[in-house]
Structure 1
Amino acid sequence: MHVRAPGKVNLFLEVGRVLPDGYHALATAFQAVSLCEDIWATPAEGFSVSVRGPVDVSGVPRDDRNLAVRAARLLAAKTGYAGGVHLEIHKAVPVAGGMGGGSADAAAALVACDALWDTHLTSAQLHALAARLGADVPFALRGGTAVGTGRGDELSSALARGRFDWVFVTASEGLSTPEVYGALDRHRERHRFDIEPSAAGPRVEPDVLHALRAGDPAALAAALRNDLQVAALALRPDLADVLVSGERAGALAGIVSGSGPTLAFLCADEAAAADVAGSLAADGFDAHVAYGAVPGARVVTG
């Protein structure tokens, strides 16, 4: 069974206070993009995984720590399936890059094993399992464009017209999401009288939703925001120079993708994205062209 699931970019990410479970309250606008993960699931006695792809996969676990394996085991436990599965993962989303590649693997594994094992879970049941695996997994199941609240896993539709063209610049060294959130907490503590999170809780700004509905890249570029960017740049100051380079190359705007270190540059159209990627590549950066929005985890036929 072959399943494909997309990476994501956070068009907007407002980070609120720490919740009792240790996570932060979030309000985010996700868009699924055409950098995707592919998983092939085949019957097996136990649970195993292999990983390959054009991105650096040396840090991806090949045991039960792998999120796709955890997803398969969770589905088996939920449905009473007694067998196992071998998962072959082909990664195209940067590892530890803030684009949800591991979450896409988990979503793809849920869909692949559900189809392979004929367990026939509903979308709601798959979503509930996905939420147990990580905050970004439900969106990787759903795809498209959506608003996420709570930990980011409570999703609602966001209407988006047309196509949005992106250039993603990856880094050879990843950033730990917990470390980035920790750096943000420390930054806010130092500046608590100026930037304390709102007591009303985080929300996605209306300008973001208006730009998506209008299919207007320039308006969306003006509304991009990521509260984690200040923390990611504090941990990796070199990323600031890349943001400047991308905007000088013609991008409408650049932003840290999720917790970083991948940088996302929104461009006016497909031709502009190709120009920006070419300019960044000429400067020695690892640049990838992609577009959104694309569907969530789905079976690939043919």
Structure 2
Amino acid sequence: MSGLTVRAAAKINLLLGVGAPRADGFHTLVTVYQAVSLYDDITVETAGDLTVSTEVAPYIDASHLPPAGHNIVDRAAAALAAHHGRPVTADVHVDKSIPIAGGLAGGSADGAAALLALDRLHDLGTTDDDLLLLAAGLGSDVPFALVGGSALGEGHGEVVTRVDDRGAWWWVVVPSEEGMSTPAVYRHHDELRPDAPEVPGAPDEVIAALAAGDVRRLAAALHNDLEQAACDLRPDLAQLIVEGVDAGALRGLVSGSGPTCVFLCESGDHARVVAGALTAADERRVVLVAHGPVAGAHVVEA
């Protein structure tokens, strides 16, 4: 095979429970992921060396891209090379539509897409289990980006189990021009919640709402333990959530560690109405409409 394209989706956290910091500095997480229809495409072509180029959507600030050689695509290629004991090279082009540093796991999507694309390009035959292990080594959200759909995430988020999801969910997604530091949000969360439990509670109500396909039940169950910290650091996020709910969204919340805010709506038409209201309130905003759940990383062109 001389070339192919793999697509991977953004994620949102329908629930994100964060435990107290452990001795190793990490937090035990319990989360419910959903993959939504904002995508990055990675195209790979046969080449003697590994090169990575990136093209971003107009609403993404390219200055936030990592420097050459430090992209997660480079790390994915290195992981595959080490696993198989052979060089993994390609001309890689990333067509990026998932906002950077926005709590939507755009980098993780690129890592998952790169693993799959490079594996298929070189006909490496990496098993699904090994791909998931390699993905976990790249980052906590990368295994989910491979799996897609809706899933329970445990550990650091990297232990992924699919959950029954009978709904068709519509979201308004509002990224921010200014990114947020994930470590800073976690540190502030620890300051605000010194009594956090070691292990967060089970996300039973979110999982039940997904299985029932009940949008209002899901709206009531959405929760993010990091939201207070993110909004404390960025009060404009709290104001945006109020605006979205006033515009008719069933519920708004910060996605992951922020700063992107997401708003659950009744339907596609309802989401477009809410998006129109948020755009009219501030035409400088980027306001996107997405639906979920969608597939994990998959080949779209070969």
**TM-score (norm. length: structure 2):** 0.95
In structure 1, the partner of 2:15 is: 12
* Corresponding residue to 1:265 among 260, 263, 266: 263
Residue 64 of structure 1: how far off its partner (Å): 2.3
Whether contact under 8 Å (1:145, 1:293) holds in the other structure is: yes
* Corresponding residue to 1:113 among 106, 113, 118: 118
In structure 1, the partner of 2:148 is: 143
1:297 correspondence with 2:302:
no
Amino acid at match of 1:129: L
Any idea what SS the aligned residue of 1:7 has?
A: strand
In structure 1, the partner of 2:69 is: 64
Kindly report which structure 2 residues correspond to 1:212-231, keeping only aligned pairs within 5 A, or say none. Answer: 212-231=210-229
Amino acid at match of 2:25: G
Percent same amino acid among aligned pairs? 47
Residue 276 of structure 1: how far off its partner (Å): 0.5
Any idea what SS the aligned residue of 1:58 has?
A: helix
1:198 correspondence with 2:197:
yes
Whether contact under 8 Å (1:169, 1:263) holds in the other structure is: yes
1:75 correspondence with 2:74:
no
1:175 correspondence with 2:180:
yes
Any idea what SS the aligned residue of 1:39 has?
A: strand
Name the CA distance, whole Å, in 2 between partners of 1:112 and 1:26.
29
Amino acid at match of 1:115: R
Question: Which deviates more from structure 2 when the two are superposed, residues 280-289 or residues 221-230?
Answer: 280-289
Unpaired runs of 5+ in structure 2? none
Unpaired runs of 5+ in structure 1? 190-195
Superposed CA offset, 1:193-222 (max 9, x none): xxx1224x1133311111100111111000
Superposed CA offset, 1:7-51 (max 9, x none): 000000000022343211000000000001100011222222111
In structure 1, the partner of 2:286 is: 286
In structure 2, the partner of 1:193 is: none
1:159 correspondence with 2:158:
no
Superposed CA offset, 1:260-302 (max 9, x none): 0000100011110000011111112211000000000001137
Any idea what SS the aligned residue of 2:135 has?
A: helix
Superposed CA offset, 1:212-257 (max 9, x none): 0011111100000000001111111111111011001110000000
Name the CA distance, whole Å, in 2 between partners of 1:25 and 1:61.
27
Amino acid at match of 1:92: S
Amino acid at match of 1:10: N
Residue 133 of structure 1: how far off its partner (Å): 0.5
1:246 correspondence with 2:244:
yes
Residue 61 of structure 1: how far off its partner (Å): 1.7
Whether contact under 8 Å (1:143, 1:296) holds in the other structure is: yes
Superposed CA offset, 1:99-121 (max 9, x none): 00000000000000000010010
Superposed CA offset, 1:58-77 (max 9, x none): 21124221112111121122
- In the TM superposition, structure 1's runs of 4+ consecutive aligned residues that sit over 3 Å from their partners are none
Name the CA distance, whole Å, in 1 between partners of 2:83 and 2:42.
21
Residue 83 of structure 1: how far off its partner (Å): 4.5
Aligned Cα root-mean-square deviation (Å):
1.2
Q: How many residues align?
A: 295
Amino acid at match of 2:287: A
Any idea what SS the aligned residue of 2:64 has?
A: coil
1:93 correspondence with 2:98:
yes
Whether contact under 8 Å (1:45, 1:83) holds in the other structure is: no
In structure 1, the partner of 2:190 is: 185
Amino acid at match of 2:196: P
Name the CA distance, whole Å, in 1 between partners of 2:97 and 2:24.
32
Whether contact under 8 Å (1:93, 1:99) holds in the other structure is: yes
Whether contact under 8 Å (1:249, 1:279) holds in the other structure is: yes
Shift of the 83–11 alpha-carbon distance from structure 1 to 2, 3 Å rule, reads: closer
Amino acid at match of 1:290: A
